[in-house]
Amino acid sequence: MPTFDQNFAIMEFRPGPGGDESYLWLADLQDMYMKYASRVGWKVRPLDENVIEIIGYGAYDQLQLETGTHRVQRIPITEKKGRIHTSTASIIVMPKITSNDIKVRSEDLEITAMRAGGHGGQNVNKVSTAIRLVHKPSGIVVTMREERYQQQNREKAMQVLLAKLYQAEEEKKASSLGSARSVIGLGGRADKIRTYNYPRNQVKDHRLEEKSFNLDKILEGKLDDLFLELQILRESEIKKTA
């Protein structure tokens, strides 16, 4: 069993069906977590496209419960007839692996250096500092361009790869448990965990049967009450299985 640092959380955001609205919703979700991180004094670092690293006390332990599908019901800005649409984005929260339990053979990797582009100065723009890493057995692709030097980007890319390999294995185990798995802590990216309803100004976490939360506050990163309720539920589930 790999060991990992509870103070590091890697969050990957993936758009669901719905075209532009799904990407807009994905950006809103990412902004929500960044606001929460700022409120509690955590640091946020971009790692890849739609992948961020959040660093702070207990970050992974707390944010791992956010893995799953987040559904939004609202009138998109692109909607001309005022109709409410339903869109989704999925979030996968992964740990930073700190042990050598997950073995990656060098022959299973395809590593390509490329120019980072964008901001960052001449060193970043004119030298091939960015890394594209392909893990051939799983098909996982990681690109890393945020650091100034190629070796730093390579190390970060390997961290994300290990996290994704760990997450994929955990999802495989959870899937084999079927309906017997716990509703807390084993959620997969396809599990619908929360609905954000704009017309009602309401957020409903489907693991918390009788509770709802104010949408405006949630989107401003005021997630404390929601997170507390989820922690209470998780502790209750743990006691049931003890």
Selection from 106, 103, 74 nearest residue 88 by Cα: 74
Residue 127 has a pLDDT of 61
Question: Residue 111 is part of which domain span?
Answer: 4-241
- At 122 the three-state DSSP class reads helix
Per-residue pLDDT of 54-105, as tens digits, reads 999 999 999 999 999 999 999 988 778 888 989 999 999 998 888 777 888 9
Total domains present in the chain = 1
pTM for the structure as a whole: 0.84
Whole-number Å distance between alpha carbons of 204 and 139: 35
Largest CA distance in the chain: 57
Per-residue pLDDT of 124-164, as tens digits, reads 445 678 889 999 999 999 888 877 788 888 888 998 899 88
CATH code for position 77: 3.30.70.1660
Residue 115 has a pLDDT of 74
Kindly tell me if the per-residue pLDDT of 199 is higher than 90.
yes
**Percent of residues in the chain assigned helix, strand, coil, to nearest 5:** 40, 30, 35
9: which residues sit within 8 A by CB, 6+ positions away? 53, 54, 55, 59, 60, 62, 63, 64, 93, 94, 95, 96
Per-residue pLDDT of 176-190, as tens digits, reads 665 444 444 445 566
Query: How far is residue 88 from each of residues 46, 71, 123, measured CA to CA in Å?
Result: 22, 4, 38
Residue 119 has a pLDDT of 46
Q: Identify the band that residue 210 occupies on the pLDDT scale cut at 50, 70 and 90.
A: confident
